Structure 1
């Protein structure tokens, strides 16, 4: 029996009613990860966040700096990294190694019993390597929420162990895959929403979705799907915010209770943009 089968349905899980209470799925980006003081403050708040939780982190800023130091060219298309074989080695060492274990050690220091994982561990997050047409992104994976090993992950959560996932998945054929951390967060939140009342938090360096990217006072407090379509057509929401919001509304349509986009410093007070 493999790990996925062994933990596919834990005993008495899910209980009658299909919910085990609330769960926070929280994603932080490289701008926080790469700032030791900001990261320490965020992890303290994360630990204080009530209830069960899962953390997902990126690390692209550090990976880009490391690539420069090692003479590995960083190639991107529309802001998305092209992951060749050497880049895959690099991002795996940075994401699944230094960043992941540093976060886990920092959480242990403040009393949060955490475990660091990649998508390959316990077959947690299988992915499909992205089609090379029309753009070959290399070793990049797209996870399927239905394939996520929710049984194993839920056993950790129910044992009061906080999973900390990096943005590395695998194809179940021996290859690791670089994966967008926002997409990992969406996939985990969607999969776990079958058993928990799930809130997905995207924490980054802005206070939320802004009408004017250069004006922090232009926060949009809430957006529904119709308003989102209008804001996109007016190009008020553009660039890197589009995939984040696309994932957010997809998560809501697939069972996630709420998505909040906010500055990492506001995790506890919830001030940001609520998507409905």
Structure 2
């Protein structure tokens, strides 16, 4: 089985939690891919550099200054720190973006009601599965920063959750794949303030019901949309859970929330 694991900003921002996560990630046997974010770090460094962070509905507007910032932070600082830490743990990590080897083709998001600037939408149909296989089959562990390119020389800020799902879908034709979204909660919570209210299994019917009853907090909806899209396109399993539960969630007796068709 191939594990495609996405780690979010709250863990990246906590040195102790990150170190534990990376130790657990290094212990996973077999082919694996780590996809990371880093938005909080980019915002913090942007503030120091006088680059204002602008958002619409929680999505970052990526102007000329911001694409330079996130390319430095995601593709440089965060990515290479993760690679160095994994190498110290005996994990043969290789840091990449979607631009490297054209591993994740994308297009600049078209302007509709909002101009998001240098933001990329992945082109799943042209993802070069053979190049990903080449990395995995040679024992390399890709560590992917949330950046792509537009084919005309411009880097693009790209959603890490979507990138992880796209890779998982593409690889599912050759391998059984488990896509794991790691964040700071135990899973999808029925009551957002109650860590014990984890919903262990969600299928499309239950998802529709929970949304209709407004029992899910808005921030988790994009993850669930990506999860169900991945399941519908061939990914064997999608799991959403706490970063600290990674080892258990790569086994058979998982915790967190398991997404199924």
TM-score of the superposition, structure 1-length normalised? 0.91
Q: Which residue in 1 is equivalent to 2:79?
A: 100
Q: Which residue in 2 is equivalent to 1:226?
A: 205
Once the two structures are TM-superposed, the CA of residue 157 in structure 1 deviates from its matched residue by 0.2
Matching of residue 252 in structure 1 with residue 231 in structure 2? yes
Q: Which residue in 1 is equivalent to 2:247?
A: 268
Matching of residue 81 in structure 1 with residue 60 in structure 2? yes
Q: Which residue in 2 is equivalent to 1:32?
A: 11
Once the two structures are TM-superposed, the CA of residue 29 in structure 1 deviates from its matched residue by 0.5
Is the Cα contact below 8 Å between 1:232 and 1:238 reproduced in 2?
A: no
Q: Would you identify which runs of 4 or more consecutive aligned residues in structure 1 move more than 6 Å?
A: none
Once the two structures are TM-superposed, the CA of residue 55 in structure 1 deviates from its matched residue by 0.4
- Give SS of 1:24's match: strand
Distance in structure 2 (CA, Å) of the matches to 1:192 and 1:175? 26
User: Match for 1:127 among 94, 99, 106?
Assistant: 106
Once the two structures are TM-superposed, the CA of residue 144 in structure 1 deviates from its matched residue by 2.0
Matching of residue 165 in structure 1 with residue 149 in structure 2? no
Matching of residue 185 in structure 1 with residue 164 in structure 2? yes
**Equivalent residues in 2 for 1:196-215 (5 A)?**
196-215=175-194
User: Match for 1:137 among 116, 127, 137?
Assistant: 116
Distance in structure 1 (CA, Å) of the matches to 2:212 and 2:57? 19
Q: Which residue in 2 is equivalent to 1:90?
A: 69
Distance in structure 1 (CA, Å) of the matches to 2:237 and 2:202? 11
Per-residue CA deviation, residues 147-191 of structure 1 (Å, 9 max, x unaligned), is 212111110100011001000011112111000110110111111
TM-score of the superposition, structure 2-length normalised? 0.96
Distance in structure 1 (CA, Å) of the matches to 2:18 and 2:120? 27
- Give SS of 1:267's match: helix
Stretch deviating more after TM superposition (98-107 or 238-247): 238-247
The count of aligned residue pairs is 255
Once the two structures are TM-superposed, the CA of residue 50 in structure 1 deviates from its matched residue by 2.4
Distance in structure 2 (CA, Å) of the matches to 1:53 and 1:121? 18
Structure 2 unmatched runs, 5+: 250-254
* CA RMSD of superposed structures (Å): 0.8
Distance in structure 2 (CA, Å) of the matches to 1:81 and 1:69? 18
User: Match for 1:44 among 3, 13, 23?
Assistant: 23
Once the two structures are TM-superposed, the CA of residue 67 in structure 1 deviates from its matched residue by 1.1
